[in-house]
Amino acid sequence: MLAIFVLFVAYLTVSTGFVASRQRALVCHSVQIKVCDSSASHFITRAAVSRILSRDAGKTIGEYITHLDIYNLEQLLNKQSAIRRTEVFSSIDGVLHIDVYQRRPVVRVQTSSLGFYIDETGYIFPLSDVYTSFVPVVTGTVPMNIRNGYRGLIPGKEKFLKQIYTFALFLDEHDFWWSQIAQIHVKSASDIDLTPHEGHEVIRLGALNGYEYKLNKLKAFYRSACPAGVQSPYSDIDLRYSNQVICKRK
């Protein structure tokens, strides 16, 4: 038994040394880029990732795999605001694999002076020149103090923006409301109107406080007054008053 154990240890030592030696001699002969959620969003493409690498990463193809700084490659790509995370790794056939995951917005803020997305984690990032995400849009006079080009989590002092983010998460988590609400128009923090994707009515929400209760009232009203397939006959639906839905006909 002792002889078998010694032979096994010797085998492991030799094979480990062989693998390590082979890895040191392994040259990167190609780079495989994969945008893992490309069917959901198109903020970043394989071609865009390739351009970033060519411009900023230095030589990859032809380099020894052990000479490539995997961490720095990941950090380089993660600096792109629409990228949530990147995984870089190599395989034994000399291929450098780069898997990219994009941010998933839940709302877009678009005022007269600036525009940005907020993703599902509360991260703010600029709008894209190449792709527009199909999410509810916040317009109007939004009480906030965010500079153009800001990237990062919602600052603690931006209380109204955090309310908007929480409201957008609620819409995102409920298919019915995600398919209903197209626009959130802010006149002030206490005077907010909603616009549906279909129909021409204005939904008077008022303040965001108690939005879940107000939307439940609206859902019950739609079910009773606007059966499926029937367009709303109202131009104005007011949810601001307790236990009431006040409507104005077109």
Q: Which CATH number fits domain 105-249: 3.30.420.40, 3.40.50.11690, 3.40.50.10490, 3.20.20.120?
A: 3.40.50.11690
Q: Is 99's pLDDT higher than 90?
A: yes
pTM of structure: 0.83
DSSP assignment of 154-221 equals PPTT-HHHHHHHHHHHHHHH-HHHHHHEEEEEEEETTEEEEEESSS--EEEEESSTTHHHHHHHHHHH
In the chain, list all ranges with CATH 3.10.20.310. 27-102
In the chain, list all ranges with CATH 3.40.50.11690. 105-249
pLDDT recorded at residue 24: 57
Whole-number Cα distances in Å, 38 to 45, 91, 202: 8, 23, 34
Instruction: For residue 54, report the phi and psi dihedrals to the nearest 5 degrees.
Output: -65, -35
pLDDT recorded at residue 48: 94
Instruction: For residue 17, report the phi and psi dihedrals to the nearest 5 degrees.
Output: -65, -40
153 touches 164 (CB < 8 A): no
The residues, any chain, with a CB within 8 Å of residue 109's CB and separated by 6 or more, are 115, 116, 117, 118, 137, 138, 142, 144, 161, 164
How many CB atoms neighbour CB 31 within 10 A? 19
User: Element (H or E) spanning 20, and its range?
Assistant: helix 2-25
pLDDT recorded at residue 205: 96
- Give the mean pLDDT of 105-109: 97
Strands (E), the chain: 30-35, 83-90, 95-102, 105-110, 115-119, 123-126, 137-140, 152-153, 181-188, 191-196, 202-206, 234-238, 246-249
- Give the mean pLDDT of 67-80: 94
What would be the CATH architecture of the domain defined by 27-102? Roll (3.10)
- Give the mean pLDDT of 39-68: 91
